[in-house]
Structure formats: C-alpha cells, structure tokens
Structure 1
Amino acid sequence: MSKKPIICEVCQKVINDPDDLITASTLFSVKPYHEYCYGHDVRGTKSIILANHPLNGTSGTVSYLLIFLLTLLLFIYTESFIKYIVLAFLMLETGFRIYAYIVYIRKFNKAT
C-alpha cells in the first residue's frame, strides 16, 4: 500500500518537508499549502472573503488558545446564548485541527 503524497492546492506540487506544510481551513474544508504558496497566493483578500487561516504553526496555535480562553471565560461569566455559539465555533476549530493532523501532519510523523 503506497502513501498518497500531500499536494499543494496552489502549485499542485508535492510537499516533502514538514516545515514547509501549512494547513489552512477554508470555509468548511482543510487544505495543504507550501509555506511560500500560502504566503504569496492565498493570504490577503482571499483570506478575508474565505476566512482562510492557518491551523498549524505559531499563529494557528495562538489563535486557537485565544478562542479556547474566550470560550472558557464566556462559559464562566455569562448566561446568554452567545456562549453556545462560541462553543460551536471552538468545536469546529478543534475538528479542523484533528482532521489536519490525521490527514496531513501525521504522515510526516510516521516517516521519521
């Protein structure tokens, strides 16, 4: 059984280096990019329209931690319905991260 290569969405080339992999959520899907392709072709006006943000790396981890802390604070200090909307968003982000790990990032961890 051969491993299916990870293909960049922009340039359609194989991503061989785990440090070059950027996974980003676009609407309700997770897509892989080369770091260069994400930085030059995807980020910018497309990211505003499509809510495209990286899931791995420093910025992805920091944004996830902020969402987690916001959800925790809203659950502790508010009784309004907004806390359930933020909880749904947190669950969606968590699902994106688990999917990205299983489909893309884990392939590089198995190879080493």
Structure 2
Amino acid sequence: MVARVGANAGYVHIAQGEYDVSDNTLIIQHNKNIDLKFLYHTLVNMKLNQYAKGAGQPLITAGQLKLMEINVPPLEEQQRIVLILDKFETLTNSITEGLPLAIEQSQKRYEYYRELLLNF
C-alpha cells in the first residue's frame, strides 16, 4: 500500500490479507516474479513522497506510479538483497534509547546499501 494524499503521501507499507482501504491509499499488487519485500524496499528507496504534487494536500496518483520503472533482478537475487536489507533494517530499528549516534550511523549504512543494492 502507498499513502496517496496528505503529509504521508508516498509512505509505503506492506499488508497481506484482506483490508478495507480508503481512496487515499494506492494498492500495489505484485506478481510471482517479484518478491514482496524486494518491492517494498525498492519503493521505499524510490522516496515516493518526492513525487507528491500540491502544497496543502500533497497527492500521488496511480498514473504516476504506473509510469515508474523498476529494475527487477532474478527472484533468487531479489531474495538475497531482501535478506541483507532486512538485516540492516532490524539493526537500525532495534537499537533504542541512549545510542543516537549508533542509530544514525546504522540508518546511513542501511540507506547506502539499499541504494547500492537496488540501483544496479
């Protein structure tokens, strides 16, 4: 799911199962050739909020997303990338209070490797 309208326009979230969503949410369905977590990391890396238009209520349209191209490596490579990025994400998010520098450094490493792995 991608938030479509407002301050969170471009926010990416994984949801499996059935949900009721408003028209302020874009639903992205993937096929069997794309690992769901790979798609998630790729969309997060694309920083979709930068494509939101408008000042008061920024908006991203389905048409904008349909025009975006995503490089999709073989499924095995996607899964390898996901393992690496998930590990960095866990390290980044599991460090809590008292270590702001470590959190910042982990976040930078995660973003660096995400960028490196997804822009081939």
- The bucket for the TM-score relative to the shorter chain is 0.3 to 0.5
TM-score w.r.t. length of structure 2: 0.31
TM-score w.r.t. length of structure 1: 0.33
Structure having the higher helix fraction is 1
